[in-house]
Structure 1
Amino acid sequence: MTGMLVIMIGMAAFAVDLTRMQLVRSQMQSAVDAAALAGSMQLRDDPKDVDAAKAAAEKFIHLNNVGFFGDVASDAIQVETGTWDSDTSTFVATTEGPCSVRVFATKSNELFSFAQIFGHLAFSMPGQSIASVPTSPLDIIMVLDLSGSMSSDGRIEALRAASPEFVTTIENAGKDDRIGVMCYGAEIGSYPYGNIYTQSPASLFPDPDEASTDWAGILEAEMTDNFAALRGGALSSSSLQSNKYGGGTPIGAAIRDGAHYLDANNRQDAKGRDLQKLMVLMSDGYANKPEEKSNDYALQMAKYAASLEIQIYTISLGDDADTELMSSIASKTGGRYFEVTGSDSELTAGLKRAYRGIANDINRVILVK
């Protein structure tokens, strides 16, 4: 009977202390994850200040409670900066042009609760995490609605204020990104000016036999890293005009032409792989071209963009936009949808937030290991 009691006490001690070890392991992993993210975010803001990145990482270790006494000793924390190779899943420590942070930490001398009865006094719990700042350049096409309804409720003013700021945010990321601007829409057969995009294959049009007279986007700015030229040109107040082309709202054609242009002008990395392609699509209304099944055509073109591995981030601007369509377009391509409502200053503030949200998404620091 006494022997059975000892076994039962031992099992209870093991269960309690095992649960405690699992809790400390979870706390340790949360702490090193937070530290790696904090260090990488600091590195993203100032890639040259390695010491600041290491300090930020160590600070976040100390801000997380680990174990009974809550803190990890500074001499048990090791922070390294380096690079991350996603192909081989390897971290290489360096202080020259780092884009990743690796954190090691150990919580030592965590006392057992019941195992001490059997001579086991304490345990240690290590943790490791790696976070990386995105460094691969992006090719981005901004596809903007310049239909007549953009003159209402301060919509065109919001676009004029927010679009250049989006370009500046991308520029400040310092990743050799490029941005192009395509606006919509106009009829190919009746639009008398240049830059109308006629390169998309006739097979992609609602009626291939009418491709030469159908609706198309207008390429206001080719892909470029001259962001000052974008802000002063295609995204200037004088260029962003409502009803600029006297056209309707051919969302499907805008996606088609934006996707075709982006894919045709996409860069490759040193290993011959296509760079990530992103479209930022904004509309303040409902698709109305083609006149029949315009939503179906827009979704068909979203599927076409997805086949080219293009993510579409969508923004509905104002209270009259087709939120369901814009949400579906983003969903079909693995992008994200942003809804901006209200008028005047509300629209401006909301559109700026949406653009910042997109920039944060595509430049976010991620845990890689």
Structure 2
Amino acid sequence: MKNSFFLKVLTLLVFLTGSLLPYSASATTMSGSSLVAVNKTVETNSLVENSTTEVTLTIQGTPQDTTTVKPNDVILIVDKSGSMQMDNRLEAAKTATKEFIDLMDLTKHRVGIVDFSDYSGSFALTTDASAAKSYVDSIQLSGSTNTGDAIRTASNILANHRPEAQPTIVILTDGAANSEADALASAQAAKDQGIIFYSIALLGPTEDPNSSAPNQLLKDMSTSAEHHHFVLGSVGLSDVYKQIVEEIGLASAYNVNITDTISPEFEIVPGSYDNNIPKPTVTGNTLVWNITELKTDQLTLKYQIRAKDTTKAGRYSLGTTNTSFVDNNMNSYVMNTVNPIMEVLNPKPVISIINSDKGLTTGGEIVTITGMNFLPGVKVYFGNYEATVTSESNTEIVVTTPIGAQGTAKVKVLNSDGQFALGDFNYYADPTLSYVTPAEGPMDGGNRIAVIGSNFMSGAKVLINGIEAQTEFSTVSKLYGIVPASPIDGFVSVKVINPDGTEVEKADAYNYLTPAPKPTIKLTSLSATSGLLTGGESVYLIGENFDTNVKVYFGDKEAPVNYYASPTKIRVSVPAGTSTGLVNVKAQNPDASESELPAAYEYLAPPPPPAPEISYLSDNTAMIGEQKTVYLFGKNISPTAKVFIGNQEASVSFVTTSKIRITVPVSTQPYTADVKLVNPDGQSAILAGGFIYAEPVPDPAPIITSLSDNSGLISGNETVIITGQNFKSGLKVYFGDRSATIDSVSATEIQVRTPVSSITGNVTVKVVNPDLQESTLADGYNYEPLPITVTKLSVTSGSIAGGNLVYIYGTNFNGLMTVTVNGQQVPYTFLATTRIRIKMPAASAPGPVDITVDRAGAQASITYTYY
């Protein structure tokens, strides 16, 4: 038997005999160190009040001899309840069970069967593989899941196991037991008898094993977590059974007993050990695990501890860990595991309130710090300077502050064990203000000043007459500010406010100067004194004290200033006037000062526009009833000009002053008309006889010249190209009295598909244009009959006496044919276009003869043999 599953490379632990480790400890043994290694670690080696840490025991086994297999008496428990019909689970279980039996070395082991639902059936321990597999084949579906009864049945059989053999149970089930409590109790009773307990949970294909109640139940029933397996939808079940076969009889140790006692300074957190498999027995501060069989897989056991409320700060051993077990030969071993050192810490100090939390930079303030967990000998620091402690308790410290720098300082309460708490204290110093330079400026503000004083802080604000200035911090004795605008002139106060709320104000520290009066605007002359009523003339205004935002008016209309040359010269664009005549011209500065020249500019009437002219039309002819668009070319055409053709107005689209597009009105009679162009001012131009309405010329009739193919089958759908002249889109084509399908049309060529014909022979081909003019080609196309074929006979031979009924199969048959056998006409029955029936006449001699079908000259034959 191959045992490669167990041949894992294990790292042996270093055995410690004289010292304790802070985070983990490894096992030392009196003997048997090559079989079992036990290691104990903690998540963290320090604890404070109410904190917990997790303790982990790892047990690693190494088989003493991988070639020696201990005999086992094995009972295979198979669930046959009704739910095992899903996903074909029972058949998969039976197949895997038989494979398990075949893999077992029955020269060493024995195997028995227990199958269960409401009640249990059994097959006694045997070394006869065939008999055991025959029993497995007889297992049938039925009933519910009485797991406890099945385990008790298996335990009763194993009560009489061979003295040298290890009793073992392998249980497979897919559902929750009728009673979980009964199942767990019966499994525990079996393990108490020394029975090794394997379990296999047969779950649904999509079932989550982590939340599956049946899976958890079977895990709790196993000897250890390594003795439990699960499969989804029975996939891989055979592999699990194979793995268990390879494990049976090989173990590192048996009857492993681990006693783990925690030191009295600590206590075990209740329930923190419940997820271990197997679960320990807990009495006070002692946990005991009993493991019937230890394999090679690493077994991990976990629980949590915490320091007791009465435990003082210090370093303590976590406890003692003793392990006993026996090997394959029943030799006994005892080993001790060195435990980690745990440090119990005082609780960390906490600052709740600092009162008061601000004081002068010169120090000497009395401050009370309230909190908890303060130790005797506590020290207090304000920034880098130690404060003087005047009184202390567990919850309150009174100190005298040291000197400090202006701003926020960290308060550090440092216990004698090195733990500390932090808070904030604000040092302040009252600022002073000596003077402002420069100390005066315009009411519009915008000038930069320096504020000189002391104890200024970064982020300080400067206010001038209560209005905040844009402030820049320079040093603790200098600030810069941009002076805000003021609605009043004269001396005002200057105030500095630090970010910590300290402030200083100096009265009459800054003087807003009264502004000098602005010069008066004066308009003296214009570069031009007249222009067209339409405006747009450029005119220079000459004067004094023009502002850059000066406004100019011609009468009551504003003239835009498009060029500011200097305070004495500007250029404007004259606005359009409302009437001809003289108007006043006024210039006005933003300060409302203005200057006006009366009757300084005259609006003149514009000259009349030139009369329109017509040169020619792009097209001067239209048919009666035809609507045509043409272009009219000329001169001086208004965008709103009108055009008349005779006495009818044409629709006009303006293009340029020398070209417009017109839509000529429709006429019902032929005549020659004048073309008249009228501008909105009434001026017009006439092109005499400029447009002609004419009679339309009729289209020529179509002419058929030839056909690309002048014959085809009566079934139609033959492609034919008709060549000729004067063909029009929308025409129709007829073969005889039937319309052809038209695929394409050009003036000289038509491509058609011939229609189906009911007759054979020649027909007339006709082309009809949309104007009903037509052309015909008499006997232009010949319809040919469909070919006839004979494909097979229902009977291909018969006696010379005749009398056989023979079905003849083929194509294009009808009831007007003749049928001959060896030249002799015989009657026939028409059944379909593909089938007729004849009665074979007598023959004078044996041998092959022709059966011929003739339809209007179209013939087909097939051979028939007389014997």
Query: What is the TM-score of this pair, normalised by structure 1?
Result: 0.48
Which protein is richer in strand relative to its size?
2
Determine which structure has greater relative contact order: mean sequence separation of CA pairs < 8 Å that are 6+ residues apart, divided by chain length. 1
Larger radius of gyration: 2
